[in-house]
Amino acid sequence: MTDAALPARDGASVWRRRALIAVPYLWLLVLFLAPFFIVLKISLSDTVIAQPPYEPVLDLANGWQGVKDWWAGLDLENYGLLFEDEIYWRSYLSSLKIAAISTFLALLIAYPMAYGMARAPKSLRPTLLMAVILPFWTSLLIRVYAWIGILNPEGLLNQLLLGVGLISEPLYIMNTETAVYIGIVYSYLPFMVLPLYSSLEKLDDTLLEAAADLGSPPWKSFWQITFPLSLPGVIAGCFLVFIPAVGEFVIPDLLGGSETLMIGKTLYNEFFLNRDWPVSSALAVLLLLVLVVPIALYNNIQARELEAAK
Amino acid sequence: MAQKPAQKALGPIRRSFAPWLDPSAVPLIRFEKVVKKFGDFTAVDDVSLDIHQREFFSLLGPSGCGKTTLMRMLAGFEQPTSGRILLAGQDLAGTPPYRRPVNMMFQSYALFPHMTVEQNVGFGLKQDGLPKPEIADRVKEMLKLVKLEPFATRKPHQLSGGQRQRVALARSLAKRPKVLLLDEPLGALDKKLREETQFELMDLQMELGLTFLIVTHDQEEAMTVSDRIGVMNHGKLVQVATPGDIYEQPNCRYVADFIGNINLFEGTVAGSGGGEVRISGEDPAGDFVAASDAGLEAGAKVTLAVRPEKMRISIEAPPADARNVLKGEVWDIAYMGDWTVVLVKIDGSEKVVRVSRANMTRTEAQPIAWDDRVHVWFAPDAGVVLTS
């Protein structure tokens, strides 16, 4: 630090710094924390056929008594329901399973892609990177709809396979769990490829030369050097796919069948079909609690990465 | 710039170890007419070189001269475009790096960042499938050798530059390779540590009886550690000789100029006889006499090369039998501690001659000052006549 940087400690600039930090915190407060507390409150309320479809509603016109009534009307009943009715916990388990398997499949597909990109000539890499990001230019909804056209019994895939003569009857992939896996892996693949690519690209080639020099053939070098050094990318990619995939709604709704249970879909049904806001809010809060563990883990690992990079 | 065949060891340091002088000795490493091209660029141009068992051999040259490429071909990271490389009589072509009995210490050290010091050093042994207790013993031995025992469980990023260099050295020595390749091994160390490590490397090489091939652009380093030096330029091996011979008997202007400081006088051969050649100089104009039995023809273009420490300087007239006397004015003086370097501008010429004097006593007043009129002279055997 030079002397010129020292005046930064005086009062005015401390306040300036605090003001600067306050902006993102305010953002989080207004756009994340406030809605979360609203959802939390609704999850503790009871369903009524009214507008809004829950009670109690805070009535400040009654003064302190209104606040007391409101508080007395809140209870954990909805959470109890989530544990009683098996559809809810089965939705959670099924979501976690589908997300975990999709994450693993995405890793299997993304690793060779990212590896190829990182090993491609430097001049070609921006193009390849662009190709990975390109799908984001179209809405997810449209891309998932496109898969319906591909996976339909009369869709492109079946027409192709029938035409070639590989199958004699159309495959029924549409509206099955397989279709959900295809959709999730397809949609979240870039989130896996990008962190993998960035950690593989940093890999120093001389490390592989050193490994070869010390007697390690290329395939052993991959498991001894390349893979362990790409682990930060693997971990980041897995979290980036797993966390949103658990709460995925659009893909199971469009591609999955009625037997595909996912928490996002259950939540949607409770909210829009049953108009049971309190139960669906409780579902959402519980989903958040379920995901807090991997999110906290992810943040922790990222922070350690940053620390190590210093 | 052809290599002189079977050069005699004329250097000032007598060596008992000189297998390259023995025509019946079988070299450990043999480069045979090795060429390496990258597209249109010829990185290594027709290099033939023998390196003997237990030799400490340096490849010396500026960056881009092909020395690293030559070494990487021996390690197996590059394939020669043509020519052969033999190790202990076996052609290495088609042998992948991981099957070659040579190990390399990389310029960047290339330590595995996710492994501890122990794991780094033991990596090569693990690849050979050695039993774990044996690996542990060898690793311990290696860490003792490089004095890093207390750091066994640290990761590379927790070590200093000097310590990392030692880990890299220990790792490349752990497998007891037939040949240890060192690519600018000390480049990242500061001067003091570098000099210390140079001597340690020499001791280590003698202790282990290994063959070392080192690539460096640092001539001092090459002079310090090597049994022989191969000077490279533009992909060609220009001269291969002991450090003494490289310094005292350079075979061309390039080597003379690249190693140490030297005064070069251009001229043409005026005549020769009696083991001496007379040269009429161009700049400064004047006649020089140099010892040479090369049988140079009159009229041939030559360069007379004289090292600064082989020149005499005085304010008084030189002795009557002094030869190759030049007069001039002191242009600059640099006091270096062990030496004082005097730059003298020669009369009637643009030439500035560099003369160095050893500072033999502590109390001696510097007898020469700026702008003094001085005489500079050198004996006929002080200079080397270069034809290329």
Percentage of chain B exceeding pLDDT 70:
96
More confident residue, B246 or B25: B246
Q: Are B108 and A215 an interchain contact pair (Cβ–Cβ within 8 Å)?
A: no
The residue written with tokens 């079977």 in the block is: B6
Summarised one tens digit per residue, pLDDT across range B241-290 is 999 999 999 999 999 999 889 999 999 998 887 788 888 888 777 788 88
Pairing of strands B211-216, B179-183: parallel
Q: What is the pLDDT of residues B127-163, one digit of tens each?
A: 999 999 999 999 999 999 888 999 999 999 999 988 9
Q: Is residue A121 part of a domain?
A: yes
Mean pLDDT rounded to a whole number for chain B: 88
- Would A44 be classed as within a structural domain? no
Same-domain check for residues B183 and B252: yes
Residues B297 and B266 in one domain: yes
The total of other beta-carbon atoms located within 10 Å of residue B287's CB is 12
Local confidence band at B7 (pLDDT 50, 70, 90 cut-offs)? very low
Q: What is the pLDDT of residue A52?
A: 82
- Measuring CA to CA, which residue among B140, B146, B138 is closest to residue B201? B146
Contacts of B77 in chain A (CB under 8 A): 209, 212
Instruction: Tell me if B209 is assigned to some domain.
Output: yes
B79–A contact, CB cutoff 8 A: no
Answer whether residue A224 is part of any domain: yes
- The stretch B18-36 carries a mean pLDDT of 89
Asked whether the predicted pLDDT for residue B359 surpasses 90, the reply is no
* Cβ–Cβ under 8 Å, residues B168 and B105: yes
Contact A217 B123 (CB under 8 A): no
Residue A117 has pLDDT above 50, yes or no: yes
Q: Is B215 helix (H, G, I), strand (E, B) or coil?
A: strand
Identify the domain containing residue B305 by its residue range. 261-386
Q: Residue B246: inside a domain, yes or no?
A: yes
CATH code for position B215: 3.40.50.300
Q: Partners of B357 in the beta sheet?
A: B340
pLDDT band (50, 70, 90) for residue B5: very low
- Give residue-wise pLDDT tens across range A191-228: 999 999 999 999 999 999 999 999 999 999 999 999 99
ipTM of this complex prediction, to 2 decimal places: 0.82
User: Closest residue of B to A225, CA-based?
Assistant: B112
B287 within some domain:
yes
Please provide the size of chain A in residues: 310
State the virtual CA torsion across A165, A166, A167, A172 in degrees, nearest 10: -120
**Structural domains of chain B, count:** 2
Asked if A216 lies within 8 A of B108 by C-beta distance, the reply is no
Number of domains in chain A: 1
Q: Would you call B114 and A215 a contact, using CB atoms and an 8 Å cutoff?
A: no
CATH number of the domain bearing residue B311: 2.40.50.140
- Same domain? B202 vs B245: yes
Round to whole Å and give the CA distance between B309 and B300: 27
Residue A229 reports pLDDT greater than 80: yes
Q: Does B13 fall in a domain?
A: no
Residues B247, B283, single domain; the answer is: no
Determine whether the interchain pair A206/B175 forms a contact, defined as Cβ–Cβ distance below 8 Å: no
Q: How far is A235 from chain B (nearest CA, A)?
A: 16
Instruction: Decide if B366 is inside a domain.
Output: yes
Cα–Cα nearest to B266, from B246, B245, B252, B280? B280
Please check whether residues B299 and B337 belong to one and the same domain: yes
Chain-chain contact of B127 with A213 (C-beta, under 8 angstroms): no
Last residue in a domain, options B257, B276, B309:
B257
Q: Return the percentage of chain A with pLDDT > 70, whole number.
A: 96
Assess B335–A contact: CB distance below 8 Å, yes or no: no
Q: Decide if B134 is inside a domain.
A: no
DSSP secondary structure of B96-150: -GGGSSEEEE-TT----TTS-HHHHHHHHHHHTT--HHHHHHHHHHHHHHTT-GG
DSSP string, B290-335: EE--S-PPTT-EEEEEE-GGG-EEESSPPPTT--SEEEEEEEEEEE
Interchain contact, B98 vs A229, CB within 8 Å: no
Phi, psi of B239 (to 5 degrees): -150, 140
Asked if residue A191 is part of any domain, the answer here is: yes
Residues B276 and B242 in one domain: no
Contacts of B157 in chain A (CB under 8 A): 308
> Residue A25 falls within a domain, yes or no?
no
A209 touches chain B (CB under 8 A): yes
Residue of higher predicted confidence among B307 and A63 = B307
pLDDT band at A104 (very low <50, low <70, confident <90, very high): very high
CB contact residues (below 8 A), chain B span 131-160, against chain A: 157
B153 near B189, Cβ under 8 Å? no
Terminal Cα distance for chain A, rounded:
16
Nearest residue in B to A228, CA atom: B114
Domain check: are B241 and B297 in the same one?
no
Residues B365 and B314 in one domain: yes
Question: How many other β-carbons are positioned within 10 Å of the β-carbon of residue A101?
Answer: 16
- Best to test chain A binding among B68, B127, B135, B184 (most A CBs inside 10 Å): B127
Task: Answer yes or no: do A212 and B98 touch at CB < 8 A.
Answer: yes
CATH assignment at residue A127: 1.10.3720.10
pLDDT in the model for residue A110: 96
Phi-psi region of B94 (alpha: psi -120 to 50; beta: other; left: phi over 0): left
- For tokens 């396979």, what's the residue? A161
Q: Backbone dihedral region of A2: left (phi > 0), alpha (psi from -120 to 50 degrees) or beta?
A: beta
Q: Which domain holds residue A93?
A: 85-309
Whether B108 sits inside 8 A of A214 (CB atoms) is: no
pTM value surpassing 0.90 = no
Same domain, B251 and B265: no
Are B49 and B186 contained in the same domain? yes
Q: How many CB atoms lie within 10 A of CB B233?
A: 21
A69 falls within a domain: no
- pLDDT at A309 (0 to 100): 63
* Closest alpha carbon within chain A to B99: A215
Residues B243 and B367 reside in one and the same domain: no
Residues 6 or more apart in contact with residue B358 via CB below 8 angstroms: B309, B338, B339
Structural domain ending residue among the three candidates B202, B235, B257 = B257
Under an 8 A CB cutoff, do A206 and B106 touch?
Answer: yes
Determine the pLDDT at residue B15: 56
> Chain A to chain B, count of Cβ pairs less than 8 Å apart?
59
Facing B108 at nearest CB: one of A206, A225, A308: A206
Q: Does B17 touch chain A (CB under 8 A)?
A: no
**Do A215 and B113 lie within an 8 Å CB cutoff?**
no
The pLDDT value recorded for residue A1 is: 41
Asked if B327 and B253 sit in the same domain, the reply is no
Residue of B114, B175, B213 for testing the chain A interface, max A β-carbons within 10 Å? B114
| Residue B22: per-residue pLDDT | 83
- Structural element, H or E, at residue B60: strand B56-60
What tens digit of pLDDT does each residue of B211-239 get? 999 999 888 889 988 999 999 999 999 99
Tell me if B9 is assigned to some domain: no
d(CA B135, CA B128): 10
Model confidence pLDDT, tens digit, residues B303-314:
999 999 999 998
